[in-house]
Amino acid sequence: MEKKWHIMQPDIESIQNIKRILNCDNIMAVLLANRNIISKNNIAEFFHASIGSIRKPFLLKDMGSAVKRIYEAIINNENILVFGDFDTDGITATAILVEFFRYTGAKVSYYIPHRIKEGYSIQPFHISDSLLPDNTNLIITVDCGSSSHDAVKAANKAGIDVIITDHHNISDSIPEAYAVINPKQNDCLTGVDDLAGVGVAFYLIISLRKHLRDMQFWQKKPEPNLKKNCDLIALGTIADMVPLVKENRILTRTGIEIINSNRRPGIKALCNLCGIKDSLLNGEDIAFKLAPLLNASGRMAHAKVAVELLLTKDKHTAGKIAKTLIDMNLERRVIEQRAFDEITDFFQRNNHMLKLKALILSDNRAENGWHPGVIGIVAARLVKQYHKPVILIAVTNGIGKGSCRSIPGYDIYDGLKTCSDLLEGFGGHPMAAGLTIKAEKIPAFHKSFEDSVLKTTKTEDLIPVISIDCELDFDNITDTLLNNIEKLKPFGTANKEPLFIAKNIKVVSSKIIGGKHRRMLLKQQGVKTDKLINAIQFNIDINKPMQNHYDRMAFHIQWNRWNGSKTMQIIVEEM
């Protein structure tokens, strides 16, 4: 696939200003300018802001009425139900609330719908079919609920109050709940729109703890230290791919520190099975090792398995559950790969479809069809492969459940809004969403959505761009630079790991490891020194000829830590 290499060109005056403030080298100043970390306040906030610096949670719309209602439920011994989502964000948000309520002595239970049998968020049938625990007085949603109008109406009719905590986009109106805490509401002006669902849940318990303090509740027991909950926030925030800036950066960085200093049994069990050693977990470990394991429970069985892992205090129980998640994830990878191979083979045989600006496929096979739990991951892989918005729809009994993934520059949630008359329901973010549709409406939806993409994208939008921070000769790769790059962590959305370009690279030696990775020793020709640097390129096509010289190379640089020592290493991204 054709790719455009773009070297960012930050403002020279900004670079000089950063160098004066930090007394740093030019490369570090360029990296900060590229991330729009320019002013003295921006720099101080980025490097030094603590959890005490987050904006006041009780200023969120409806927060006051929510905490007062929850306080009444606690002191009156009402039955509180936490209703969560089945992904890592929803799982961690559920665990945070349940853990806090248990500490207060409240009567609390939780409910997470089965991804395949029940679908996303709270629905009217949860109320009418008595799926929820008996005598529920108050429902608090986490990471869902902003579009659940009918379910809230059913709950109101049944005499159950509903408090919604969520971070998903709101289409037109909000449900008639007792309170709706969602920073994306138009009249919620707190500026924390980018919080994950677990972040919104954390803001709720901060505000609730304060209200309980005001009501002298903590005279009976010590006030809880909520900082320790940041381990769960780090998991949910990184997994949900929200921007890792401002509050999200503070909470995530704090959470990683907590995990590395005092892991809860469930996280420790997962880390042990993944080979993540004490004090060495980073954001990439959460994104690529822990989050897939937590998500596997909701994809392959039921997400309550992962919630119990995070809530348990028993090391033996944690170990057993962690092993179960490992097994589920192995099964998920096999099923996912089968679907991915099937779809890419289909496009090879129907190459004309790749001329469309959006790729929409559905499957209605009763046996050996797409597993609804993995189509979101498959869609994301197809986006990476073809650089187009992708929607995969698994149809069962005439109803399709779709997973949607997008490319930078196209808001897939807005695209679904233009086709909402053809959908039974939808929700999500600009880059990822879900939908429900009747099978007979899929062809019309396909045309309508394609028209939407045609109207809002240009040809160049469908060409992937490799955004490179700056050119970096091997001579300038030093221990100091690597240490400075580590200070930029955690990396993620809106704070990408620095990507560099070097030219005229010779492969001194190489070998294939793990069946699909190429380990190399590299040297840059035409520079002052003959510095040799270890490098690795992951997931290569071993059937393609391997060159020994590259005109240009895009790469990250990292410390490779092993057995107590560390060595410099290049991670090759593009050649």
Give the mean pLDDT of the chain: 94
Query: What single DSSP character describes residue 11?
Result: -
User: Which residues touch 426 (CB under 8 Å, ≥6 apart)?
Assistant: 147, 413, 416, 417, 420, 433, 434, 435, 436
| 530 confidence band (pLDDT: 50, 70, 90) | confident
Asked if 80 contacts 106 with a C-beta cutoff of 8 angstroms, the reply is yes
**pTM of the entire predicted model:** 0.93
Cis peptide before 113 (omega within 30 of 0): no
pLDDT tens-digit profile of 218-247?
A: 998 999 999 999 999 999 999 999 999 999
Structure tokens at 505: 């690279």
> Which domains are seen in the chain, by residue range?
4-48+466-574 (2.40.50.460), 61-226 (3.90.1640.30), 350-462 (3.10.310.30)
pLDDT at residue 564 above 80?
no
For helices 291-300 and 265-274, the axis angle rounded to 10 degrees is: 100
Mean pLDDT of 116-138: 91
> Is residue 161 helix, strand or coil?
strand
Asked if 251 contacts 197 with a C-beta cutoff of 8 angstroms, the reply is no
pLDDT at residue 172 above 80?
no
pLDDT at residue 60 above 90?
yes
User: Which residues touch 550 (CB under 8 Å, ≥6 apart)?
Assistant: 505, 507, 575
Q: How much is the pLDDT for 49? A: 87
Tell how far CA 490 is from the center of its chain.
13
| 290 confidence band (pLDDT: 50, 70, 90) | very high
